[in-house]
Amino acid sequence: MKITIKNLGVLESAEYELGDLTVVCGKNNTGKTYAAYALYGFLDYWGNDYEFQVDSALIEELQNNNEVLITQEQFQNWLPQNLEQASKKYCREQLPKVLGYSPESLKRFENCEFCVEVNTTPMIPLFRKKKIMRWKGKDANNSCSIKTGADGKSIKIYQQYQQTSQKFPAHPTIYLNELISREIIPYASFASADRIGAAMFSNEIRYLRDELYQKKEFSFKKKIPIKYPLPVSENLNTIRDSLLAPPQLLQDIQQVFCELLGGNFEITNGKLYFIPSDNNNNNNNNLSLTVTESSSSVRSLLSLWLQLCNEIQTSNSPNMFMIDEPEMNLHPVNQRLLARIFARLVNLGYKIYITTHSDYIVKELNTLIILNRRNKNSDEVMKQYGYSEKEFLDPNKVRVYMAQEIETKKMETTKKSLKKKTNQSAIPKCTFIRANIDELGIDLPSFDTTINEMNRIQMELLAGDDDDE
C-alpha cells in the first residue's frame, strides 16, 4: 500500500509504502504525527463511510437475475478508481476533521493532496476468505447476502427473497469495502501521544462534553462543539468500551507484556485496576492501583494493552496497530521489550506502524533482524539474553522512513517588510526519506550522528584534562 501526501502542514511532499512493520523517525515538527493521523483517518473513512462504486450494469444484472458473481479481475478494475475518488473526497471533506481543525482553518487544506494506491495481482487473493454479510431493505422481502469465495477471489451477491414491485437497490455495494483483504487495505486502531491524558481524564472529559452538548445556552458567542483529532477521540472511546466488556490479552504475548508492565491490568465491577507483580513475577492481588495511582509508564501502556486485547478477536477487529511515540515514559529496558512485542505481533500476522524518537527501539529492531540470519553465535545469544525465534524479523517485512527538512524556499518579501528592511523567514518544508534495510539491519544514521557528536564533545572536554597535566 503506497501513500502520497502533499502540502499537509510542514510536509511538502511525502511518499511511502506500508510494510508489516513501518517505522517513521525524525526530529520534532517534521510531519510524522500529521502523516500518521492522515493515514489512520483515511483507513477509518474507507472502512466505515465511503460507499464503494461499481458499474451500473452490475445492479441491472442483479435486478434481472437475482444473483451476481463478481470476479477478482472485475474488482481490480474498479478498485483504483474508487481509491482515487475516496482519497479526493477524504482530503476535501474529512481530513481537517481528523486533524481536529476548526471550520475557520479549512483554507490551510486548499492545496493539500492525499492519495492511496495498492498493488493487486491475480495471484494474490483480493477478498477476505469465506466472509458473509447480510443486508435488509425497508421492505422485509427486500434482502440479500454477500459472500466471498473460499479462495478469496470472488464475491457473490444474491437476493434471499423474491422481489415484489420494488427493484433491488444499490446499497449492498457499500459493504464491498469490508470484504477487501486486510493484507491489501488494513483496518487500524491508534494509540495517540495523548494517551496518558486519555487514560487519566477520560471520565471527566466525557462528562464535560455531555454537559456542554446538553446546555442550550453558552457563555460565548457561538456554540462550538469540543473536538479532538480523531485518534485522540478513539483513545477515549477505547477506554470507555473496555469497561463495558472486560478484555483479555493475546495469549502469545501475555508473558512478555506483563514483564513490560511490571504487572497486569484487571477490570472489576466496571473499574480498571493495575495489579503490580511481586519479586517472583506473580500478580500481587493484595495491591490494586487505579489508573491515577499508577505510574506514568503504566498509563502510557494502557492504550496499547487495550488495543491488543480481545477486540482484535472480533469480526471488525484491527489488524494494524498505530502507535505515536511508543517509547513515552518507558525506561530503555522496556523500550527494547516493546520492540520485541512489535516483532511478535508482526510474526503473528498483524501490522505495526509507529512514529518514534527512540534509538533503543530502532537498535533492538536491528538486533531482531540480525538474529533472523542465524549464524553460529545465534543460539548462544538467544540463550544468554532471552530472545525467542518468535521475535526474529524478516528485513523484507520492515519499512523505515526518516522525516526531515528539504531545501527551503525563499518567500517573497512584502512591501511592509521592505520598508522595515527585513526579510520574511523561510518556512521549513519536510519529506520522508526511506532507509536502506538488509539482513544486517537498518541503515539510519540520524540517531548515530547525535550520539557520535555527544561522544566527541565529551572526548574533547576530557582531553583538556590531559593538557592541564
DSSP SS3 for 95: helix
Question: Strands 113-117, 132-136: parallel, antiparallel or unpaired by DSSP?
Answer: unpaired
Question: Strands 11-17, 2-8: parallel, antiparallel or unpaired by DSSP?
Answer: antiparallel
Look at residue 108 in the predicted model and tell me its pLDDT: 81
Pick the range with the lowest mean pLDDT from 15-24, 123-132, 346-355: 123-132
Q: What would the mean pLDDT of 33-51 be, rounded to a whole number?
A: 91
Non-local CB neighbours of 377 within 8 Å, separated by 6+ positions: none
Residue 453 predicted with pLDDT over 70? yes
- Comparison of pLDDT for 320 and 220, the residue scoring more: 320
Q: Check whether residue 311 and residue 330 sit in a common domain.
A: no
Q: What would the mean pLDDT of 427-432 be, rounded to a whole number?
A: 84
> Do residues 48 and 188 touch, judged by C-beta distance below 8 A?
no
Does 192 reside within a domain?
Answer: no
Look at residue 421 in the predicted model and tell me its pLDDT: 45
Does 141 reside within a domain?
Answer: yes
DSSP SS3 for 329: coil
> Do residues 127 and 77 touch, judged by C-beta distance below 8 A?
no
Rounded CA-CA distance 308/37 in Å is 20
Non-local CB neighbours of 467 within 8 Å, separated by 6+ positions: none
Look at residue 427 in the predicted model and tell me its pLDDT: 66
Rounded CA-CA distance 387/239 in Å is 32
Non-local CB neighbours of 358 within 8 Å, separated by 6+ positions: 326, 327, 335
The string over 227-248, giving b where at least 16 C-beta atoms fall within 10 Å of a residue's C-beta and e elsewhere, is: ebbbbbbbbbebbeebeeeebe
State the chain's mean pLDDT as an integer: 79
**Alpha carbon of 93 to those of 45, 49, 79, 111, 114: distances in Å?**
11, 12, 21, 13, 12
Q: What would the mean pLDDT of 424-443 be, rounded to a whole number?
A: 82
Residue 314 pLDDT class (50, 70, 90 cuts):
low
Q: Check whether residue 302 and residue 339 sit in a common domain.
A: no
Residue 169 predicted with pLDDT over 60? no
Does 119 reside within a domain?
Answer: yes
Residue 249 pLDDT class (50, 70, 90 cuts):
low
Look at residue 433 in the predicted model and tell me its pLDDT: 92
Grid-cell match 495517540, residue found? 192
Secondary structure (DSSP) of 226-252: ----HHHHHHHHHHHHHHHS-----GG
Quote the percentage of the chain above a pLDDT of 90: 29
Instruction: Phi first, then psi: give them for residue 186, nearest 5 degrees.
Output: -75, 165
> What kind and span of H or E run contains 441?
strand 441-443
Does 33 reside within a domain?
Answer: yes
Does 469 reside within a domain?
Answer: no
Cβ-count burial of 85 within 10 angstroms (0-12 exposed, 13-18 middle, 19+ buried)? Answer: middle
Q: Check whether residue 66 and residue 18 sit in a common domain.
A: yes
Highest mean pLDDT among 63-67, 88-92, 207-211, 304-308: 88-92
Look at residue 60 in the predicted model and tell me its pLDDT: 76
Q: Which residue spans within 325-380 are E strands per DSSP?
A: 351-356
Determine the residue type at 274: F
Secondary structure (DSSP) of 119-134: ---TTS--B-TT-EEE
DSSP letter, residue 12: E
Does 94 reside within a domain?
Answer: yes
Residue 319 predicted with pLDDT over 90? no
Q: Check whether residue 173 and residue 308 sit in a common domain.
A: no
Look at residue 67 in the predicted model and tell me its pLDDT: 81
- CA 1 to chain CA centroid, nearest Å: 14
Residue 47 predicted with pLDDT over 70? yes
Q: Check whether residue 378 and residue 397 sit in a common domain.
A: yes
Q: Is the dihedral of CA 380, 382, 386, 388 positive or negative?
A: negative
Q: Check whether residue 290 and residue 324 sit in a common domain.
A: no
- Comparison of pLDDT for 287 and 203, the residue scoring more: 287
Q: Check whether residue 336 and residue 382 sit in a common domain.
A: yes
DSSP SS3 for 185: coil
Q: Check whether residue 177 and residue 326 sit in a common domain.
A: yes
Q: What would the mean pLDDT of 64-92 be, rounded to a whole number?
A: 89
> Do residues 66 and 162 touch, judged by C-beta distance below 8 A?
yes
Q: Which residue, of 271, 286, 318, is where some domain finishes?
A: 318
Look at residue 401 in the predicted model and tell me its pLDDT: 95
Question: Strands 351-356, 320-324: parallel, antiparallel or unpaired by DSSP?
Answer: parallel
Look at residue 284 in the predicted model and tell me its pLDDT: 61
DSSP SS3 for 223: coil
Please choose, from the candidates 223, 418, 462, 254, the residue with its C-alpha nearest in 3D space to the C-alpha of residue 341: 254
Does 59 reside within a domain?
Answer: yes
Does 343 reside within a domain?
Answer: yes
Chain segment 123-132, per-residue pLDDT in tens: 888 998 888 8
Rounded CA-CA distance 326/345 in Å is 15
| Helix residue ranges per DSSP H, 285-376 | 296-307, 332-347, 359-371
Q: What would the mean pLDDT of 256-275 be, rounded to a whole number?
A: 82
Q: Check whether residue 298 and residue 399 sit in a common domain.
A: no
Non-local CB neighbours of 125 within 8 Å, separated by 6+ positions: 72, 151, 152, 153, 181
Q: Check whether residue 153 and residue 20 sit in a common domain.
A: yes
Q: What would the mean pLDDT of 144-163 be, rounded to a whole number?
A: 80
Q: Check whether residue 162 and residue 295 sit in a common domain.
A: no
Cα angle value 51/186/180 (rounded, 5°): 50
Q: Which residue, of 267, 291, 318, is where some domain finishes?
A: 318
Residue 166 predicted with pLDDT over 50? no
Range of the domain at 332: 2-187+319-460
Residue 259 predicted with pLDDT over 50? yes
Chain segment 396-424, per-residue pLDDT in tens: 999 999 998 886 544 444 444 444 444 44
Number of domains in the chain: 2
Determine the residue type at 384: Q
Strand order across the 430-434 sheet: 113-117, 2-8, 11-17, 430-434, 398-405, 21-26, 351-356, 320-324, 188-191
Look at residue 263 in the predicted model and tell me its pLDDT: 87
pTM of the model: 0.84
Q: Is 281 left (phi over 0), alpha (psi -120 to 50) or beta?
A: left
Residue 219 pLDDT class (50, 70, 90 cuts):
very low
Q: Which residue, of 318, 345, 370, is where some domain finishes?
A: 318
Chain segment 376-393, per-residue pLDDT in tens: 888 999 999 989 999 999
Q: What would the mean pLDDT of 294-302 be, rounded to a whole number?
A: 83
Quote the percentage of the chain above a pLDDT of 70: 76
Q: Check whether residue 51 and residue 177 sit in a common domain.
A: yes
